[in-house]
Amino acid sequence: MNLTRREGLALMSAAAFAPAAAAAGTYDVAVIGAGVFGAWTAERLKRAGARVVLVDQYGPANARSSSAGESRVTRLSYGGDPLYSPMARESLAAWTELSARAATPLFYKTGVLWFSPAGDAYMARSLDWLRANCIAHARMDRKDLAKAYPQMRFFDGEAGFLEEETGALIAGRAVQTVVAINEIPFAHARLAAPKRRKGVYDVADGVSAKTLVCALGPWLPKIFPEVLKGRILATRQEVMHFGVAPGDDRFAPGNQPTWADFNNGEIVYGMPDLEGQGFKIAFDRHGPEIDPDTQDRRISADSVERARAYLARRFPDLADAPLVHSRVCQYENSSNGDFLIDRHPEHENVWLVGGGSGHGFKHGPAVGRLVAEHVADPGKPVETRFSLATKAAVSARKVF
Ligand SMILES: Cc1cc2nc3c(=O)[nH]c(=O)nc-3n(C[C@H](O)[C@H](O)[C@H](O)COP(=O)(O)OP(=O)(O)OC[C@H]3O[C@@H](n4cnc5c(N)ncnc54)[C@H](O)[C@@H]3O)c2cc1C
């Protein structure tokens, strides 16, 4: 067959992201949900030798999933949290390796710049952790910040630090790559509440499995309302990308790091102009509760106005920049921001995995490794902070 160059490239890119169709049969494990947690769980299980199938109702990193979209921050600092910083470090190595194998980059080492009032306790604990673990970083006072990033404004009493080895992940493409590059068998289907028949669970036409991992993101309380209603809450989140002026590279990687502003109790964060998709800005505040199947995904005028007001103060040359792209998605929040990785209370072969709570993406590889270990070793104790028992019904976020 003679193909034009364009046809050849189209075929290559389709092959790079198209999941391999699952053969009928009984698998050791079916991972339901092909977001970042499910994709990496399937990868780690397959790597450990399990016969695994991945199932999703809409496809890997589909537009409704929490893992979709252009980019996610990957950072190591967690205010000294002994659980998440090591997981982020383990995951960063896996993301870097995947990015090197992929046809296009998935990880951009832009650095992550944190700034907040100079005496902020969270920042001090993050710095202690970075120092104790010999992680490359540069601590900066207001003068250093202003000199290093003239395109930004910093104010009296602010300080910050740059994590040098971290940056941004290309989110949806990275999840699709995990599935495709590792040839993880995939089936398109929607799981109803699991029912075990003759020792197996039916998960798609002709496909069954002995163990289920339900990594359903914001759908967890929809499929398991008796266990998770009120304990995982899906909230509307909005992300905006503003177009930089023609030829202006001050907001491109190399000049502009990924950034997070912890000032005045308001967490605002964003990315440089990655792959020409515009300068990203988002507010980490939880929006109203939504249904991930049906929520209205048009950006609100209020959010654009709030973003412009922020830009005018912090990135004044972007205050009038055109909005070139926006996305409405959702966080799937646990009560305090800790993940959920535990057995279903009535099905010992069904694992519930989720509660990414607005910070889960970067941890995909470590979450996948942990779930794979639980499946392989039923005696492995569940981390208390990830247990169902610690998932309360009242929202009191502790993890940032
Ligand atoms: C705006 C925004 C910004 C964020 N920023 C960051 C960040 O900077 N850094 C970071 O680390 N994290 C960030 N996060 C959080 C992170 O993206 C999420 O925690 C993570 O993607 C959740 O992944 P998941 O696999 O649990 O869920 P999902 O990606 O939602 O995957 C769940 C999948 O399950 C499927 N599914 C559900 N029910 C069924 C069913 N019954 N049958 C079959 N399939 C089903 C769905 O179709 C979906 O594909 C952000 C999230 C958002 C929304």
For residues 152 and 217, state if they share a domain.
Answer: no
What is the number of domains present in the chain? 2
Q: Residue 29's closest CA among 345, 387, 350? A: 350
Q: Residue 163's closest CA among 94, 257, 282, 90? A: 257
pTM as predicted: 0.96
For residues 182 and 57, state if they share a domain.
Answer: yes
The whole-number pLDDT of residue 14 equals 46
CA of 275 to the centre of ligand 1 (A): 22
Burial pattern 41-72, b for ≥16 Cβ within 10 A else e, equals: bbbbbbeeebebbbbbbebbbbebbbbbbbbb
Residue 161 lies in a domain: yes
For residues 197 and 256, state if they share a domain.
Answer: no
Q: What is the pLDDT of residues 344-386, one digit of tens each?
A: 999 999 999 999 999 999 999 999 999 999 999 999 999 999 9
CA of 170 to the centre of ligand 1 (A): 14
For residues 340 and 285, state if they share a domain.
Answer: no
For residues 261 and 130, state if they share a domain.
Answer: yes
Phi, psi (degrees; rounded to nearest 5) at 170? -85, 100
Phi, psi (degrees; rounded to nearest 5) at 226? -65, -25
Candidate from 36, 57, 66, 295 with most ligand 1 atoms within 8 A of CB, to mutate? 66
Q: Which amino acid is at 347?
A: H
The boundaries of the domain holding residue 205 are: 15-66+172-230+336-390
The whole-number pLDDT of residue 7 equals 46
Candidate from 166, 169, 216, 269 with most ligand 1 atoms within 8 A of CB, to mutate? 216
The whole-number pLDDT of residue 244 equals 98
Q: For residue 389, give the DSSP letter.
A: G
The per-residue DSSP string of 241-296 comes to: EEPPPTT--TTSTTTS-EEEE-GGG--EEEE--GGGS-EEEEE-S---B--TTT--
Helices and strands, number each (H, E), in the chain:
10, 20
Beta strand 185-188 with 20-21: parallel, antiparallel or unpaired? parallel
- State the CATH number of the domain containing residue 368: 3.50.50.60
Q: Among the residues of the chain, which ranges form H helices?
A: 5-17, 36-47, 84-101, 121-132, 142-148, 171-181, 220-223, 225-228, 301-314, 364-376
Residue 86 lies in a domain: no
Q: Which residue has the tokens 């929006």?
A: 287
Among protein residues, the one whose CA lies closest to atom 1 of ligand 1: 237
CA dist., res. 130 & res. 134, Å (int): 6
Q: What is the pLDDT of residues 240-261, one digit of tens each?
A: 999 999 999 999 999 999 999 9
Q: What is the pLDDT of residues 151-176, one digit of tens each?
A: 999 999 999 999 999 999 999 999 99
- State the CATH number of the domain containing residue 120: 3.30.9.10
Residue 223 lies in a domain: yes
Which of ligand 1's atoms lies nearest the C-alpha of 237? 1
The whole-number pLDDT of residue 154 equals 98
β-bridge mates for residue 30, sequence order:
53, 212
Around ligand 1, the residues with Cβ closer than 6 Å are: 32-38, 55-58, 62, 65-67, 72-73, 190-191, 215-219, 223, 237, 239, 282, 329-331, 354, 356, 358-362
Residues in the chain where the model's pLDDT stays below 50: 1, 3, 5-11, 14
Q: Residue 374's closest CA among 340, 399, 333, 346? A: 340
The whole-number pLDDT of residue 56 equals 98
